[in-house]
């Protein structure tokens, strides 16, 4: 049977189990979207900006574990995907981005809306393709999905010239893909398991570090069993939050620049760090010279390039986190570290995460109101900035894999479009967006997509009239010269209303519970504009270039709450 190239694209996607595509049409891509009329089983979501398409595919992938798919036309449509692709790359999110290209015959002539998108995205994709022959199209798409989801996941881009989309194309979908040289190691060698088991058994002050790889491997139950077997505290990276329920007695929360004090003290005083699916990035380690000076590092990651990249590993273990944890738990007896756990608990008592109330509406209280409204079971999508850190500190994630945010790239504007994908991935459950007034204005046009798709997304704006995190750094390190950080915005309540989305303004702490109850009870979307204290800073804070033991706590000191 003869197909057009465009039809082959959709046939391939259906065989990969794709049922939703986030996209924005345009000239070179018209044949692709025209052919979609023959495939009603695929839901096409029209976003209002291509960047949002990439973030939505990203959120869908993180929430479901499936490959997210976005599509755009040539030229500016393709380049508008770049930030979302880079976000997915740094956070190891499986994504396939399909871009239309000008006709093959005019590639290289600076044709209308021609851009070398494969060249642009080469550093920010796991792999990318420019399809020059129609007979290569199905195999290329098969490979793209295979690469996106296997090993260390990541985004793959497929660029397809318009004449290939419109031309005839025989369709044969390969049963399997062979990529010589690409064989991700899933299971560590038995002798490595035995060496690791001995290292763990000898440790007196072990700490388990849960990174995003725990979520990617869906190793939540394996993490819990392993931590209980060795009686060791579990500390998360930003993207590792919700890998273990906050109610679990071994869960200590997040360490790093804005991590809780007791978690940082545990890391810094450990004699063994068991790092699971994490990059040991600078925001987590602080000064490498001073990082965990007494600790050996047992580093588990499916990507060998990450092991020892920043912190030397006493024992490198290449493999899938889930498989490695299963083998280690089997190889180890029950261990007892009660004295170590008691010391960690003492640090928690000495350095409580308190709110030193200032103004009518401290932003931390907004997060705690969200905690009460959802009982820690919400699906929370945070943007980037102070509010992101307050969520990480004050929201107790009881539900596994329930926190979604941009980690490595720190992409402002991520949360609202990513929530589109999280919500479609979990259609019966409300998704909560926590966003600053600066971040929200980067992609607020996606309110139209929320309304169009009738998605019950609840949006909580931390509205302080500043780019808060940058303002905080200006205050602490640049003489309080607030250049470019005061930011105005629209009336967010009226803006939401213009899209048919009910909204409510909150100006004081005693209004929070009623406002969150109204948002929770709404069957559709709802927006809360929370007018929080403008000058509030995030504490604790580890200053750049210093040890994680040198954290600065709120200088206002303890108050009675």
Q: Name beta bridge partners: 346.
A: none
Instruction: Measure Cα distances from 104 to 35, 84, 97, 116, 167 in Å.
Output: 20, 26, 19, 12, 12
Q: Which residues of 258-268 are buried (b: 16+ CB within 10 A; e: fewer)?
A: bbbbbbbbbbb
**Residues 50-82 as b or e (16 or more Cβ within 10 Å = b):** bbbbbbbbbbbbbbbbbbbbbbbbbbebbbbbb
Q: Phi first, then psi: what are they for 486, rounded to 5°? A: -65, 130
Q: Which residues are bridge partners to 535 per DSSP?
A: none
What is the DSSP secondary-structure string of 482-521? --S-B-----HHHHHHHTT--EEEE-SGGGHHHHHHHHHH
Decide if 485 contacts 474 (C-beta within 8 A): yes
Q: Please, are residues 158 and 95 in contact by the beta-carbon 8 Å criterion? A: no
Q: How many residues does the structure list for the chain?
A: 561
Q: Per-residue DSSP letters for 330-377?
A: HH------HHHHHHHHHHHHHS-------SS--HHHHHHHHHHHHTT-
List 7, 11, 16, 50, catalytic entry: 50
Distance CA 507, CA 517 (A): 16
Active site residue 112: yes
Crossing angle, helix 5-15 and helix 137-149, to 10 degrees? 30
Decide if 469 is catalytic.
Answer: yes
Is the CB of residue 399 less than 8 Å from the CB of residue 430?
no
Helix 190-202 vs helix 321-331: crossing angle, to nearest 10: 60
| Long-range pairs for 386-389: beta carbons < 8 A, 24 or more residues apart | 386/436, 386/462, 386/468, 386/469, 386/472, 386/536, 386/537, 386/538, 387/363, 387/434, 387/435, 387/436, 387/439, 387/462, 387/468, 388/238, 388/434, 389/258, 389/469, 389/538
Q: What is the DSSP letter of 541?
A: B
Task: Indicate left, alpha or beta for 256 from its phi (over 0: left) and psi (-120 to 50: alpha).
Answer: left
Distance CA 204, CA 198 (A): 12
Give backbone dihedrals phi and psi of 53, rounded to 5 degrees, phi first. Answer: -60, -45
User: What does the block give as tokens for 264?
Assistant: 């940082």
Catalytic residue among 257, 280, 317, 469: 469
Could you identify the residue written with the tokens 């007979």? 135
Select which of 16, 66, 146, 162 is catalytic: 162
50 catalytic? Reply is yes
Active site members:
50, 112-113, 162, 469
């Amino acid at each position: 049977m003869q197909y057009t190239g465009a039809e082959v694209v959709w046939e391939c996607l259906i065989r990969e189990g794709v049922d939703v595509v986030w996209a924005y049409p345009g000239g070179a891509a018209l044949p692709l979207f025209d052919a979609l009329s023959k495939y009603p089983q695929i839901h096409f979501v029209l976003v209002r900006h291509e960047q949002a398409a990439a973030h939505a595919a990203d959120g869908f992938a993180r929430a479901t574990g499936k490959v997210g798919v976005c599509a755009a036309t040539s030229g500016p449509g393709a380049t508008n995907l770049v930030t979302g692709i880079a976000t997915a790359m740094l956070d190891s999110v499986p994504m396939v981005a399909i871009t239309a290209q000008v006709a093959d015959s005019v590639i290289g002539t600076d044709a209308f809306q021609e851009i070398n998108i494969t060249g642009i995205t080469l550093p920010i994709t796991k792999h990318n393709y420019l399809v020059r022959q129609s007979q290569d199209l199905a195999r290329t798409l098969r490979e793209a999905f295979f690469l996106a989801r296997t090993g260390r996941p990541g985004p793959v881009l497929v660029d397809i010239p318009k004449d290939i989309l419109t031309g005839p194309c025989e369709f044969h979908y390969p049963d399997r893909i062979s990529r010589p040289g690409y064989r991700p190691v899933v299971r560590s060698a038995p002798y490595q398991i035995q060496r690791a088991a001995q290292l763990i058994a000898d440790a007196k002050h072990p700490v388990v570090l849960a990174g995003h790889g725990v979520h990617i491997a869906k190793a939540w139950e394996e993490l819990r069993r392993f931590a209980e077997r060795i009686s060791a505290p579990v500390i998360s990276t930003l993207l590792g939050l919700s890998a273990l329920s906050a109610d679990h007695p071994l869960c200590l929360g997040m360490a790093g620049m804005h991590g809780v004090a007791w978690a940082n003290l545990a890391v810094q005083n450990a004699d063994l760090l068991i790092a699971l699916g994490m990059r040991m990035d600078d925001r987590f380690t602080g000064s490498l010279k001073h990082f965990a000076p007494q600790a050996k590092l047992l580093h588990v990651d499916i990507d060998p390039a990450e092991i020892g990249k920043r912190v030397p590993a006493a024992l490198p273990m290449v493999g899938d986190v889930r498989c490695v944890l299963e083998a280690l738990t089997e190889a180890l007896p029950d261990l007892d570290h009660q004295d170590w756990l008691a010391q960690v608990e003492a640090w928690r008592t000495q350095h409580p995460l308190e709110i030193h109330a200032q103004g009518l509406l401290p932003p931390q209280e907004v997060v705690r109101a969200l905690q009460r409204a959802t009982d820690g079971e919400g699906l929370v999508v945070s943007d980037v900035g102070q509010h992101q850190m307050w969520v990480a500190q004050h929201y107790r994630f009881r539900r596994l894999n329930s926190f979604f945010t941009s980690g490595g790239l720190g992409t402002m504007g991520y949360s609202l479009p990513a929530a589109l994908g999280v919500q479609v991935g979990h259609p019966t459950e409300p998704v909560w967006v926590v966003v600053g007034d600066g971040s929200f204005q980067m992609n607020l046009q996606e309110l139209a997509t929320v309304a169009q798709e009738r998605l019950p997304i609840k949006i909580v704006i931390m509205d302080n009239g500043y780019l808060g995190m940058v303002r905080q750094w200006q205050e602490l390190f640049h003489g309080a010269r607030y250049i470019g950080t005061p930011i105005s915005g629209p009336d967010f309540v009226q803006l939401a209303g213009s899209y048919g989305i009910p909204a409510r303004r909150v100006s004081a702490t005693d209004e929070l519970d009623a406002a969150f109850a109204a948002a929770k009870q709404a069957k559709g979307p709802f927006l809360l504009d929370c007018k929080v204290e403008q000058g509030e800073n995030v504490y604790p804070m580890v200053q750049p270039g210093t040890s994680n033991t040198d954290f600065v706590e709120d200088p206002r000191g303890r108050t009675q709450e």
